[in-house]
Amino acid sequence: MTTAIVVAHFHPQGLLRDDLAGLLRALAERACRIVFVSTRLASSERARLPAAAQVIVRDNTGYDFFSYKVGIEALGDRAACGRLVLMNSSFITVDVDKLLRGFFEARSPGDVFGLVYSREHRRHLSSFLLSFAPRCFNSPRFTDWWARMQPIDERERVIPAYELGLSSHLRHGGFALRRAYHATAREQWTALRRAWPTAKRTLVPLALNPMLFYWDFVLRDFGVAKVELVKKDPYGFLDQPTRGRLVAVCGAAGAA
């Protein structure tokens, strides 16, 4: 059965990063159906997308979740879909094969499957990469949640309403939430040591943002890192060679 992939894209200049273009080509080669929803896409960049991808350019409102909503609606009948994946452009893919094996080809991923699980704010699957089984995405609970969504343009409201809200809504509906990355005891201890000087001393490792405090372990296992880490590195975790390596895979679009 077909894997349907909805991509929420944003770039201030409407560019497409090399790593994202490469990931989409690899997914298209695996006969995935791709709906690419962008809030700004330069005309010159369209040719870099897989030929079969459905491209939608919309107004820049509602953040990535509203792009997800638009893409899900564009899929129409999902009866032939064996899996629905939502992904945005906020992560850099350094190793496509690792991501394909560890996430897209993972066996028995559960009703809802995310790359990482976070307890920052409250427990949830991080929404930059999510996968749903037919039992979930064909359910009234899933469909109604997206149908009721309204565009929110304040990030501090989007996170509790949608980022945290989706996981909570589906969990309470009886769906099993699973994640690909599981930190070892040693990795949790490393994350806690990193958090110690950052005024997060009262937090246990699982309460930390996994894409920041476990970034090197996720990169090692799945070949991805968040753009936020490369652009801002808020806790100073990256050395210059690592940052240069991550920026290099982005191409001319840069880590944006």
Q: How many Å apart are CA 167 and CA 189, to the nearest integer?
A: 26
**pLDDT score of 106 more than 70:** yes
Q: Which one, of 188, 2, 193, 4, lies nearest residue 84 by Cα?
A: 4
| Stretch 217-231: mean pLDDT | 97
Residue 92's DSSP bridge partners are 225
Task: Please report which confidence band the pLDDT of residue 167 belongs to, taking 50, 70 and 90 as the band edges.
Answer: very high
Residue type (1 letter), 158:
V
Region 163-174 average pLDDT? 92
pTM recorded for the entire structure:
0.94
Amino acid at 70: V
The continuous run of DSSP H or E covering 228 comes out as helix 227-231
Structure token pair of residue 204: 């246990």
Going by C-alpha positions, the residue among 88, 58, 60 that lies closest to residue 70 is: 58
Average pLDDT over residues 2-30: 97
Q: How far apart are CA 214 and CA 195, in angstroms?
A: 11
Region 92-107 average pLDDT: 96
**pLDDT tens, residue by residue, 176-211:** 999 999 999 999 999 988 888 765 444 554 478 899
Which pLDDT value is given to residue 205?
Answer: 46
pLDDT above 70 covers what percent of the chain?
Answer: 96
Surface-to-core class of residue 118, CB atoms within 10 Å of its CB (0-12 exposed, 13-18 middle, 19+ buried): buried
Average pLDDT over residues 129-138: 97
pLDDT at 37 over 80: yes
| 3-state class (DSSP) for residue 13 | coil
Say how far apart CA 59 and CA 40 lie, in whole Å: 8
Q: What is the pLDDT of residue 107?
A: 83
Per-residue CA distances from 81 to 10, 31, 75 (Å):
26, 12, 10
pLDDT of residue 199: 57
pLDDT range class, residue 121, cuts 50, 70, 90: low
pLDDT tens digits, one per residue of 40-95: 999 999 999 999 999 999 999 999 999 999 999 999 989 889 999 999 999 999 99
Euclidean distance between CA atoms 193 and 237, whole angstroms:
12
Residues 6+ apart with CB under 8 A from 37: 6, 7, 8, 9, 56, 57, 58, 67, 68, 70, 71, 74
| Tokens of residue 245, six digits | 């390596």
CB atoms within 10 A of CB 72: 23
**Cβ count within 10 A of residue 28:** 17
Q: What are phi and psi of 15, to 5 degrees?
A: -95, 160
Q: Please give the domain boundaries of the chain with CATH numbers for all domains.
A: 2-179 (3.90.550), 185-253 (no CATH)
Distance CA 8, CA 125 (A): 17
Question: Helices 63-75 & 140-147, crossing angle to 10 degrees?
Answer: 120
